[in-house]
Amino acid sequence: MELKHIDIACLSVSPANMRGVKKAPDLTNILPSVRARGVLVPLIVRQNGSPTTYEIVAGKRRYHAAMIVAQEEGSIDPLPCAIMEAGDDAAALEASLIENIARLDPDEVTRWETFTRLVKEGRSPEDISLTFGLTELQVKRTLALGNLLPRIRNHYRNDEIDAVTVRHLTLASKVRQREWLALLDGESRPPMGYQVKSWLLGGNAIATDKALFDPADYTGGIVTGLFGDHGYFPYPYRFWLMQEASIAARVDAYRDVRWQ
């Protein structure tokens, strides 16, 4: 990347910036430093269609802090910037997320939004995991938040529901999620935490590791998620029929061996 000092009037926030363009950043822990010493860490920028103007891929908080200082003092020195190649939105998203994770850990929904945009740009979960030093399962768990209705994601982002509740709701169909939201809006408290799994499966959650038969032979469909080690059988009656058949087959096999 080319390093260059750029006038603040020639800078604007890129849509690729992980923290977005519209949301006002929290400058509590950065503004005093910028007031005292200016911007020391380069912003990551790229040209945005003009040879003299640039959009900020990473460094939105430093930019806004510098804007405040410029208003207070009437001017500010050009800001240090590292210029990346234009046009690669996926690389811009990665640069933004990597830097923001290092400085101010983004919430899980923000990571989901950024990972989703990277997938749309052609990055695979494996690519993302290698870029950010995560396991592929961790990336897939973050992407699983895409199974949730936007309103549920917003409740999670605002700390109105906990992580355990959200992770079990990723198992739910959109219809069941709407039913859960209706309970939240009504007088009845919706199931929370591990109660969500029981609510989804009718109180009869039977894990696949309890089967004596091959779960692949089960015809009722298995409820699976990315936050546990196994799936669940949604129809206990069908499970017990297959379980009994498996036990009977084992008994018959034992008898055949015994009488040989």
Examine the domain organization and report whether 90 and 166 are in the same domain. Answer: no
Examine the domain organization and report whether 124 and 60 are in the same domain. Answer: no
Phi first, then psi: what are they for 257, rounded to 5°? Answer: -65, -40
Examine the domain organization and report whether 143 and 206 are in the same domain. Answer: no
Tokens 């529901």 belong to residue: 161
pLDDT greater than 50 at residue 65: yes
Percent with pLDDT over 90 in the chain: 12
- Residue-range definition of the domain harbouring residue 196: 149-200
- Per-residue pLDDT, 16: 65
Q: State which amino acid sits at residue 1.
A: M
Phi first, then psi: what are they for 192, rounded to 5°? Answer: -125, 160
Look at the chain and report how many structural domains it folds into.
4
Q: What are residue 54's DSSP bridge partners? A: 11, 47
- Per-residue pLDDT, 133: 63
Question: pLDDT tens across 39-61, in order?
Answer: 877 888 888 878 889 988 888 88
- Where is pLDDT greater, at 112 or 41? 112
Q: What is the CATH number of the domain that holds 47?
A: 3.90.1530.10
Examine the domain organization and report whether 186 and 236 are in the same domain. Answer: no
Last residue of a domain, one of 176, 200, 224: 200
Question: pLDDT tens across 206-245, in order?
Answer: 767 667 667 777 776 666 655 555 666 666 667 667 767 7
CA distance 223 to 24: 40
pLDDT greater than 80 at residue 21: no
- Per-residue pLDDT, 104: 41
Examine the domain organization and report whether 187 and 121 are in the same domain. Answer: no
| DSSP codes of every residue in 69-123 | HHHHHS--PPEEEEEPPTT-HHHHHHHHHHHHHHHSPPPHHHHHHHHHHHHHTT-
pLDDT greater than 90 at residue 25: no
Examine the domain organization and report whether 37 and 124 are in the same domain. Answer: no
- Per-residue pLDDT, 181: 94
Q: What pTM did the predictor assign? A: 0.48
Examine the domain organization and report whether 17 and 101 are in the same domain. Answer: yes
- Per-residue pLDDT, 62: 87
